[in-house]
Structures are given as C-alpha cells and as structure tokens.
Amino acid sequence: MAQRLNSSDPDFAAKFKEFANAPREGASEVGATVADIIAAVRERGEAALQHYTKEFDKFHLTDENIAISEEECAAAEAACDPEALKALAFAAERIRAYHEKQRPEDILYTDDAGVTLGWRWTPVEAAGLYAPGGLAAYPSSVLMNAIPAKVAGVKRLCLCVPTPGGHANPLVLAAARISGVDEIYRIGGAQAIAAMAYGAGPIEPVDVIVGPGNAYVAEAKRQVFGQVGIDAIAGPSEILVVADKHNDPAWIAADLLSQAEHDPSSQAVLITDDAAFADAVEQAVEDQIDVSPRKKIAAAAWEDNSAIIVVASLDAAPGLVDQIAPEHLELAVENPQALAAKVRHAGAIFLGRFAPEAIGDYVAGPDHVLPTARAARHASGLSVLHFMKRTSIIGCDEKALAAIGPAAAKLADAEGLPNHAASIRLRLGSE
C-alpha cells in the first residue's frame, strides 16, 4: 500500500519533506566496471566491442555484421504489424511538427553605441542515439530522440542498439528508418556509449549522445560527458496526479500505474482534496495491480515509493508539486490552466481529465525524454536545442570601439592583464 499523508496532520510538513527527498535508487556501484569498459574501447577499438558483445549479448560481432544495413531495416519494417507501423508514422509526424516550432531564430542588431551584436544557432555535426534492445525495446524512444536531432539539422545520426543473440527488434529498426537515422550498429551497453564518444571500428565519434539505458549506460554517459554532450542522467519514472472528486477513480488509478509499471523504483503520487475519492483510487490501484501482467514491478513501485496525499484545498497543490518537481504532472481538475499557471517545476504538464500521461509518451508531440529526480527544478525535456549550439556575434567599427573600449581597458587594468588592455588601447591610439 502506498504511503498516505494528510495535510491536516500536525507532522504533515515533516513527513512530506521526508517523502519528497527520499532516494529511490541505491548508489550505483558500476562506476569502476564502466570505466574499465570505456578504457578498453578507447585502447582496443572494435576488438573491445567484439569482446563485450560476445560476453553480454551472446553474439559474435564482425566487420561484416556490426552495421545494420538499409536492406535489413527494410526487411524488418516489412515484417512489422501494419497497424503498428501506421501508429509509428502518425506519432513521427506529430513529434516532427511540434519540434519544428522549437527551432530558434538568429539575431543580429546594432546597439546605441554602434556595436554589432547577436547570436546564431548551428546544429552539431553528429549525434549518437542509444536505444535499448531485446525485451526492453522502445520504438517510441527512437522517435523522441532522433526526430529532434534531424529537425535541428544534424547531418549524421548514429544509432547503437543491442541485438541479443543477433536479433534486432523490428519495430525499433522501423522507427529508426522513419526518423531518418543514418547509421545503425549492433552494440549495446557502456561499450556503445564509449564507441560513440571516442570512435571504434567503423563508428566515428559524435558530438552529442542521447537516449535511455540501464545503469551501465547511464554511468557511461556520465563518464564521457565533457568529451561529448549528453541529454541527461535519467532516473526512475515519475507521475504526480492532482485530481478532484469528479474523476473516475479507475482512470486515475490507471494513470498512476502507467509509470509504476516501468520499474520498481518508479514513483506515483496522487494529490486530492477528497478523502473518499482517495480511498476509491487506492482500491482501484490495488484492483488493477492484481490483474496486471507487470504486477511485481508495479506493486513494488506503488508500495515502496508512492503516496496518496489528501489536502484541505487544491490551492495547496502547486506548492507541494514544486517541492516534488515531478517528471510528469497531470492536472485532472475543472480549470487545469489556472492551476498550471501556479506550478513552477514539472517536466511536462497534462491539462484536464482527458489528457493522460500516456498520450505524451507516444503521440502528443512534445518529447517524452524529461527531467527526473527533481531535476525539473533546473532542467527541461529533450528538445531541438539539445542538438544545437549558440554562437555569440560581436562587431565594432572605430567609433563603436571608442565608445566602449576605454571601460574594457580599465577593467583589464584592474584584473592585472596588460595585454588585454593594450589590444584595445592600441586601436584607440591611446597606448
């Protein structure tokens, strides 16, 4: 049973703070192993990839089969359920349309001192995408990671996906094809991240690496950050639902379990102003867990990490939401826009009773790669901007330099940097 909190209890503030700050994952102990894998890939290249692929995926990697060809992708797509392909294409169209609106504009202007200023945006040359394979294959994540990169203008998009026993998930390959992925390699784990970061065999280094993965993948991304950019170090999934009594308890229970079923470390939270409704949702959750094919996972997440919070008024909800800073926030209330306006920290906000979080995972359009573990306090979801960089533009003519240069030279003097000052004063004829 999930933890039950009531804002009227005298110790509510302390208990809520403890709940909001409780860790949901043990400290990763894979750092040393990952460091060894990365070092091996840097030193031995494709030979290391072959070694680790045989060890972990039970597959003999060779020069001939390391890359998945266009012909293999076409055959995989042909083997997919036509309705699933249609849904993928529908999702891709909506994701692409949404992200095209994110492309930033270049700016160039002249200020009152006559200085030319501005910025320009350019895409990275190459991006790497990691996609889990086997049982934990998510074609929707391929769309969500690849399409923003292509919309940004990335010319080379490389996908690494493990193929246990040599078998690739057909729908993952179809999603890669629909998204415009340029290269696909049969490599998983930390070794795939190392290969994309430093290069190995036919895989050339990339500039940015994105995509979900297990603890080894996450740690590898952490260790190569700086050599390449990354999207984030993702934690367990989260959902917080603010709901009044006018909802169907079964709907809200299903929404809570949509994230609880991901992983035993996931979190689901309900905030409501009606105790009877809270009871009904709690019962509906228990009923749905009992018949879930993912019962063991969902039950662990619900019992160990989740909570039902009853408040005197939903006016208190935004303050509690901001302390949790959830990955996903559903506002199943009469006027969701008004409540949303009071929330500062959430990865994505779903407005109204007919906007379940699951719609955002697949076809709404915004990216489903979102900040977790309270990172919504300072971070945003994956976007076109993750694959672009902003370059500042500065231009002066003689008059403009005369207007602003003396102040710069004076600051250089104050910092003890005479050549900085001289580079300005020589142009001004004052040195």
Query: CB–CB of 254/291 below 8 Å?
Result: no
334-361, pLDDT tens digit by residue?
Answer: 999 999 999 999 999 999 999 999 999 9
From the list 262, 328, 345, 386, the catalytic residue is 328
Catalytic site includes residue 303: no
Amino acid at 251: W
143-170, pLDDT tens digit by residue?
Answer: 999 999 999 999 999 999 999 988 889 9
The whole-number pLDDT of residue 141 equals 95
Q: pLDDT grade, residue 235 (50/70/90)?
A: confident
Find all residues with CB under 8 Å of 386, minimum gap 6, and list them: 148, 152, 208, 210, 229, 231
Tell me the C-alpha to C-alpha distance, in Å, between residue 312 and each of 37, 141, 185.
53, 39, 54
Query: CB–CB of 1/279 below 8 Å?
Result: no
- The domain segmentation of the chain, as residue ranges, is 31-104+125-230, 235-378, 396-428
- In this structure, whether the domain defined by 235-378 belongs to CATH 3.40.50.1980 is answered with yes
Q: pLDDT grade, residue 431 (50/70/90)?
A: low
Element (H, E) at 242: strand 238-243
CATH code for the domain defined by 31-104+125-230: 3.40.50.1980
Q: What percent of the chain has pLDDT over 90?
A: 92
The whole-number pLDDT of residue 135 equals 59
Above 80 in pLDDT, residue 405? Answer: yes
Pick the closest to residue 388 from 150, 205, 198, 218 (CA basis). Answer: 150
Q: Please count the other Cβ atoms lying within 10 Å of the Cβ belonging to residue 70.
A: 10
The whole-number pLDDT of residue 18 equals 95
From the list 219, 327, 330, 357, the catalytic residue is 327
Catalytic site includes residue 328: yes
271-294, pLDDT tens digit by residue?
Answer: 999 999 999 999 999 999 999 999
The whole-number pLDDT of residue 27 equals 54
| Helix pair 31-44, 189-198: axis angle to 10 deg | 50
pTM: 0.94
Tell me the C-alpha to C-alpha distance, in Å, between residue 374 and each of 212, 222, 234, 379.
18, 18, 11, 9
Pairing of strands 116-123, 388-395: antiparallel
Q: Where on the phi/psi map is residue 348: left (φ > 0), alpha (ψ -120 to 50), or beta?
A: beta
The whole-number pLDDT of residue 306 equals 97
Element (H, E) at 78: helix 70-79
Pick the closest to residue 328 from 345, 309, 304, 311 (CA basis). Answer: 345
Pairing of strands 238-243, 267-272: parallel
End-to-end CA distance of the chain: 77
Query: CB–CB of 320/311 below 8 Å?
Result: yes
Cα dihedral 388/394/395/398 (nearest 10) = -170
Query: CB–CB of 291/257 below 8 Å?
Result: no
